Structure 1
Amino acid sequence: MIVERGTEQLLQEGQHFLIHEAELLDNGKYAEWMALLTSDIRYQIPIRLTRERHAPSPFSDQAFHMNENLASIQMRVERTFSDYNWAEDPPSRTRHFLTNFRMAEVRESSEGAVEMVVVSNLLLFRSRFDSPAYDLVSGEREDTIRGSGSAGGWKLAKRFVRLDHTTMGISSLGIFL
């Protein structure tokens, strides 16, 4: 099945999926966005550490800005629309800029579905209130997208974000990258 479609076509489908997903987040359509997540989703943003050049990784494998599964993402989304969400009321205005899409891997899952790992660069613009100040967050995303691309469509199975920052300069992380 994978060979029949070709890597370029799969990359294009993955790119369209990720752009659509970013549009849903930017427009605050969280219910529609949640429908694009698999039941075993992992959403991770590890903390970047300043290490020597020869260290095995510049990222912590124990500390995360976000380390979420479907239940915790659902809770975050529900909290967004609760009366107790002071951090995102009024909501932030965001714009996701995704570029430099690369296909890292294509494989079949144990259930026979296609999985592709798409790496892309991310720049997130965020503004709040009537302030001229804004936040920029940049990094690289590694997204595992699962599905057939047919009637069932694609779903996000894993997101791993490698931020360019060692410290996030935003007041709250009530948004999704």
Structure 2
Amino acid sequence: MTRTTPMTGAGHMRPVREPARLSEVEQFLYHEAHLLDSWQLDEWLALMHPEVLYRVPAPGSEGRDPRSTLQVINDRHLQLAGRVTRLKSKHAHAESPKSRTRRLLSNVRVEQNDEQDPPALVAHANFHVMRTRHAELDHFIGTYRHMLVRSADGSFLVRERVATLDHGIPEAGGTVSIIL
């Protein structure tokens, strides 16, 4: 099996038009959002491929090679597991008390990438994540890109997850202490 690499270009992509597959991807994204909003972080982490890449590009660096540009978050599975452990800990001062979040997803579009090995589906969606903490309301608005691959049991695993913000971090409360 050829090792997958982060998606920095479009490659050979074709739109997915089958209603059943589109619905399956949408339901996966909604399930992922529910796990994050309900702080079921271990269950969310279980959806990640062992070689997952989770990125939040720095504002203005989207579309550039993530290996040579600043990223707000650039985690592989080990760092992501550490992030989950810290968020669940009572020592996570930025999230004590825990934030309450609500994610709204819209305009889900799905493409098939046949050049990826294993073949991947790439889901694009708009998001609006609202976070409340200490009577403050912060808004994170942007787009998601998920590269989804099939696990041995046929379910999806997230191979790459990119949350691109439409604004700077200061406009969203100054920190990203939650998983976008």
User: How far off its partner does 1:6 sit?
Assistant: 6.3
Gaps of at least 5 residues in structure 1 are: 51-56
| 1:39-88 deviation per Cα after TM superposition (whole angstroms, max 9, x unaligned) | 010111111229xxxxxx67674111111110001001111122321110
User: Amino acid of the residue matched to residue 156 of structure 1?
Assistant: V
Q: Give the aligned length.
A: 162
Check whether the contact 1:99–1:121 (CA below 8 A) recurs between aligned residues: yes
User: Amino acid of the residue matched to residue 33 of structure 1?
Assistant: W
Check whether the contact 1:11–1:118 (CA below 8 A) recurs between aligned residues: no
User: Amino acid of the residue matched to residue 122 of structure 2?
Assistant: V
| Distance of aligned partners of 1:167 and 1:89 in 2 relative to their CA distance in 1, 3 Å threshold | closer
Alignment of 1:141-156 (within 5 A): 141-147=144-150, 151-156=153-158
| 1:96-143 deviation per Cα after TM superposition (whole angstroms, max 9, x unaligned) | 1110001133437434xx4100110010000003x1x30011001111
2:125 equivalent to 1:120: yes
Q: Which residue is equivalent to 2:78? A: 71
Gaps of at least 5 residues in structure 2 are: 1-15
Q: Which residue is equivalent to 2:176? A: 173
User: Amino acid of the residue matched to residue 47 of structure 2?
Assistant: L
**What is the alpha-carbon distance in structure 2 between the residues aligned to residue 48 and residue 60 of structure 1?**
14
TM-score, normalised via structure 2 length:
0.80
The higher radius of gyration belongs to 1
Q: Which residue is equivalent to 2:159? A: 157
**What is the alpha-carbon distance in structure 1 between the residues aligned to residue 112 and residue 99 of structure 2?**
34
TM-score, normalised via structure 1 length:
0.82
2:46 equivalent to 1:44: no
Alignment of 1:80-95 (within 5 A): 80-95=87-102
> Match of 2:42, SS?
helix
Q: Which residue is equivalent to 1:23? A: 34
> Match of 2:168, SS?
coil
**What is the alpha-carbon distance in structure 1 between the residues aligned to residue 114 and residue 178 of structure 2?**
30
**What is the alpha-carbon distance in structure 2 between the residues aligned to residue 58 and residue 36 of structure 1?**
25
User: Amino acid of the residue matched to residue 155 of structure 2?
Assistant: G
| Distance of aligned partners of 1:78 and 1:136 in 2 relative to their CA distance in 1, 3 Å threshold | same
**What is the alpha-carbon distance in structure 2 between the residues aligned to residue 36 and residue 27 of structure 1?**
15
Q: Which residue is equivalent to 2:24? A: 13
Check whether the contact 1:95–1:124 (CA below 8 A) recurs between aligned residues: yes
